[in-house]
Structure 1
Amino acid sequence: MDFYWIKTNKLIKRLFSNQVWDIPNAEKKIYLTFDDGPTPEVTEWVLSVLKQHDIKATFFCIGDNIRKHPELFQKVISEGHHIGNHTYNHLQGWKTSDKAYLENINSCEDVIRKKMTDDRHQSANCGLFRPPYGKIRPSQSARLRKKGYKIIMWDVLSADFDLRITPEKCLSNVIKNTTQGSIIVFHDSRKAFKNLEYTLPRTIEILKEKGFLFDTID
């Protein structure tokens, strides 16, 4: 498995400052994000946990999963969460031509917009994009930003997707590295669920005790 940062290095943030790694604020806000859904049962479980704690989050959805599970996608929106584009087929930008990558993102955008026909859902945000694996070429990033997208990366990676780590380690990854303004990544996928099921409720409880407030990315 490739190397990955749990806490994104400050040098990386400076080198790629045209991408959003955290959101500085004066209110001790942090931002929960979920990649790769909507996934039956898993996304529904995530929604129930967030609802229990009255928290709104940002979901970076795969277009093909939206197509397969439109009712679940509508539920994410109807419960007040924000939506971001995560490509149609979870493409790795470094391994994909700019043309194919942008077309795949457009396909995801199309399916998002088709499902957002009710005016009550206009608060869901289609102007956000997160590259799968966090890998995107500068040329791809530039073209997306020119189209008006914000490229949303992260400050803290839970690593819930990594089957080599324990749920306890996953929790530690988040709690030890979250600071004011952190964008935190979880995955509402079947692969990540073992770690997510343990970590998400405990993360919310501990960070609330520390005085953090949860918000969506606009």
Structure 2
Amino acid sequence: MPELLRRLLPECWWQMPANGRTLYLTFDDGPIPEETPFVLEQLARFNAQATFFCVGDNVERHPGIARAVLAAGHRLANHTHHHLSGWTTPRTDYLADVARCQQALEAVLPAPEARPLLRPPYGRITVPLARLLNEQYQLIMWDVLTCDYDHTLAPEDCLRTAISLTRPGSIVVFHDSLKASRNLRYVLPRYLAHFAGQGYSFDAL
């Protein structure tokens, strides 16, 4: 992400402290039956924990899958209810959509979180909106975007780029979505194997 954007949004987490060999995998846009169970299987193979930034509408449609994510020890987080852009959506509509997603999450969470996590879809959010949301949520961005959703990107190139950009403490974005399926299913197991082989662990935010 551009350095200017990081400076404009200092309340967001872009990466975690590089204390030891730990990576923070995140999965956007689920949960869905076609892809999320595959992700859970791959994470379990490497004893990896992750954070799932959920579209609230998908949580309402597939609460059993959301609960399976929790049962596997992962964390659920807010990605708005309808995957809205913070650049083009009126502020009141965006805030209402975030709140609706949080309600959907709380219907499956064992207890409400004191400070839930929120990732703006596409990373698109205005500075005033970010400051307003930061009163209730911890905003999460990233320093490694795998671009697994990009159909023009060959799976091998997707993997190579993701590995080359990763550093200790990186917050890494994958997508458990139909659009990302081809690259996700190639890249994720190989990415996990590569960094596990180098002694890295994988933790939730």
TM normalised by structure 2 equals 0.95
Partner of 2:185: 197
1:48 to 41, 51, 57: 41
1:146 match: secondary structure: coil
Q: Cα RMSD between the aligned structures? A: 1.5
2:24 match: secondary structure: strand
* 1:175 positional shift: 0.4
Q: Distance in 2 between matches of 1:216 and 1:48?
A: 16
Alignment of 1:66-215 (within 5 A): 66-116=59-109, 121-122=110-111, 127-147=116-136, 149-215=137-203
2:152 match: secondary structure: coil
The answer to whether the Cα contact below 8 Å between 1:58 and 1:83 also exists between their aligned partners in 2 is: yes
* 1:95 positional shift: 0.5
- List runs of 5+ in structure 2 lacking aligned partners: none
Q: Distance in 2 between matches of 1:65 and 1:125?
A: 23
Judged with a 3 Å threshold, the aligned counterparts in structure 2 of structure 1 residues 125 and 29 are, in CA distance, closer, same or farther, namely farther
Letter in 2 for 1:208: A
Letter in 2 for 1:176: S
The answer to whether the Cα contact below 8 Å between 2:31 and 2:55 also exists between their aligned partners in 1 is: yes
Q: Distance in 1 between matches of 2:171 and 2:182?
A: 22
Q: Distance in 2 between matches of 1:89 and 1:12?
A: 24
2:134 match: secondary structure: helix
The answer to whether the Cα contact below 8 Å between 1:60 and 1:83 also exists between their aligned partners in 2 is: yes
2:10 match: secondary structure: coil
Judged with a 3 Å threshold, the aligned counterparts in structure 2 of structure 1 residues 75 and 188 are, in CA distance, closer, same or farther, namely same
The answer to whether the Cα contact below 8 Å between 2:9 and 2:130 also exists between their aligned partners in 1 is: no
Judged with a 3 Å threshold, the aligned counterparts in structure 2 of structure 1 residues 66 and 126 are, in CA distance, closer, same or farther, namely farther
State whether structure 2 residue 11 is matched by structure 1 residue 15: no
The answer to whether the Cα contact below 8 Å between 1:38 and 1:66 also exists between their aligned partners in 2 is: yes
2:52 match: secondary structure: strand
Q: Distance in 1 between matches of 2:10 and 2:183?
A: 31
Letter in 2 for 1:189: S
Runs (4 or more) in structure 1 with deviation over 4 Å come to 122-126
Partner of 2:29: 36
Give aligned pairs, total.
Answer: 205
Q: Distance in 1 between matches of 2:6 and 2:198?
A: 25
Letter in 1 for 2:127: P
Judged with a 3 Å threshold, the aligned counterparts in structure 2 of structure 1 residues 40 and 76 are, in CA distance, closer, same or farther, namely same
Determine what percentage of the aligned residue pairs are the same residue: 41
Q: Distance in 2 between matches of 1:204 and 1:97?
A: 39
Letter in 1 for 2:203: D
Q: Distance in 1 between matches of 2:148 and 2:30?
A: 14
- List runs of 5+ in structure 1 lacking aligned partners: 1-7
